[in-house]
Every structure is written in structure tokens, then in C-alpha cells.
């Protein structure tokens, strides 16, 4: 799995850009459009890790914000799940990038009655097993028969945290796109304020202010939604 989906033109003209950062919608796959505006011709989507660029058919444009919200909410857990299965850091990153692409390409077929996290982990488990069957030296941390047990354990944990996870997903979706990107760079990419400022064209002070306001907004939003759910 070398990530070389890159550069290959496929039908539809959409693009999924893989690089450090969160999700961003770009018009025409290159220039950033107005926030909240759905591009009419193509979509550019950036996910954390790697410098691979993919050109892929995109789902219905109205589904793009939903995919971004779900993916950004679950990507940390997805990385952790893959990390529990695969020893080598580069192999983990390759699996993550490949799973991200598969989720994007198949989002039109995603069953909304099922947890997005469980769906993503199921795809990841299949890809890990495929790599192990293809290459017996693939650096698995666990015997193949234990992979489903790990997936089941993650599913149980996710169900236990269901209301809070649902509130977090909804509250993240209410934040501006750039704020979600900065949060992803800080907490998923584990980047410093200085690096985030360089990546986003902001000042360090502005980055810290955005993070502080986002944390406060998320805390208040989650609390209100959990309280409302209990009534």
C-alpha cells in the first residue's frame, strides 16, 4: 500500500487532497471558496498526515459537509485503532490514508443507522488483514484472530460514550471550518501554535485565541446538549 492513488484522473473530477490538517472545501479543487459554500464543480478535502494527493470521484456535493464533520470527529479514534493493530509507523500511516480514501469514495453507501466510527474501523480491520495476507511480514502487533476482538472492544467503548460523542459531533459541526482545521492540527496533528500559524497563515496569538474560544464553545455546547437530553 504505497498510497499511489495519487495523480490518477478518474470520473467526476473531484479531488481528495491528503496533507497535514483538517478538512477544507475548495472550489475547483485548488482555490478556497467562501466558507459554507458548496463548490459547484469539484471538491478538495484535506486530511491529517502525509503528502499524498488523490484524484477521486466525489459523493453528492450536499453530503460533503456531513462527511467532513463525521471524519474529523472520528479520525483520532481511527488512528488509535490502527495503531493498536500495526507496529510500524509508516505502515500505520499508509493504512490510515487508504482507509480515509475508501471512506470518502464510499460515503454515498454509508448506512446512517450505523456508527461512522464502527464503519471506519471495520474497513480498517479489513485493510489490515488484506495487507497481512498479501505480505506475511506486514508488521501486525496482534495475531489476526485478535483483530475482531479489538474492534468489538472499541465498539463497546463508543456505545458507552454515545451521548457525549453525539454531542461532540454536533457541536463540532457548528464551528467554522477554519476553527475545526486548527483544532485538528493541534489535537490530531499535535502541532505547536507556531507551526499551526505558519500552516494557516495566522499569527500565533490568533491561533491560541481560536483554540481557547473553541474549547469554551465546545464545553458549553456539549453541556447544554447533555442537559437537554436528560430532561
Structural domain boundaries, residue 106: 15-160
Same-domain check for residues 33 and 81: yes
Beta-carbon count within 10 A of 93 CB: 20
- In this structure, the answer to whether residues 136 and 113 fall within a common structural domain is yes
% of the chain with per-residue pLDDT over 70: 68
Domain count, the chain: 2
Same domain, 145 and 211: no
Encode pLDDT of 84-129 as tens digits: 899 888 999 999 999 999 999 899 899 988 889 889 999 999 999 9
The answer to whether residue 7 is domain-embedded is: no
Out of 51-60, 79-88, 134-143, 197-206, least confident range? 51-60
Q: What is the mean pLDDT of residues 12-16?
A: 38
Residue 81, Cβ neighbours under 10 Å: how many?
A: 25
Residues 130 and 196 in one domain: no
Q: 3-state class of 15 per DSSP?
A: strand
Amino acid at each position: 500500500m504505497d498510497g499511489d492513488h495519487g495523480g490518477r484522473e478518474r470520473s467526476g473530477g473531484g479531488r481528495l487532497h491528503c496533507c497535514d490538517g483538517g478538512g477544507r472545501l475548495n472550489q475547483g479543487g485548488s482555490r478556497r471558496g467562501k466558507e459554507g459554500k458548496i463548490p459547484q464543480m469539484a471538491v478538495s478535502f484535506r486530511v491529517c498526515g502525509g503528502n499524498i494527493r488523490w484524484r477521486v470521484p466525489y459523493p453528492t456535493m450536499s453530503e460533503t459537509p456531513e462527511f467532513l464533520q463525521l471524519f474529523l470527529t472520528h479520525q483520532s479514534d481511527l488512528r488509535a485503532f490502527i495503531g493498536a493493530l500495526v507496529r510500524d509507523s509508516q505502515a500505520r500511516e499508509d493504512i490510515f490514508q487508504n482507509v480515509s480514501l475508501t471512506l470518502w469514495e464510499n460515503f454515498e453507501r454509508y448506512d446512517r443507522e450505523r456508527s461512522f466510527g464502527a464503519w471506519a474501523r471495520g474497513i480498517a480491520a479489513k485493510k489490515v488483514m488484506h495487507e497481512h495476507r498479501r505480505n506475511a511480514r506486514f508488521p501486525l502487533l496482534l495475531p489476526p484472530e485478535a483483530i475482531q476482538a479489538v474492534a468489538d472492544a472499541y465498539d463497546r467503548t463508543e456505545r458507552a460514550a454515545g451521548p457525549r460523542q453525539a454531542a461532540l459531533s454536533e457541536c463540532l459541526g457548528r464551528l467554522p471550518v477554519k476553527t475545526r482545521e486548527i483544532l485538528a492540527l493541534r489535537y490530531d496533528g499535535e502541532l505547536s501554535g507556531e507551526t499551526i500559524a505558519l500552516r494557516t497563515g495566522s499569527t500565533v496569538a490568533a491561533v491560541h485565541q481560536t483554540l481557547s474560544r473553541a474549547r469554551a464553545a465546545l464545553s458549553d455546547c456539549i453541556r447544554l446538549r447533555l442537559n437537554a437530553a436528560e430532561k
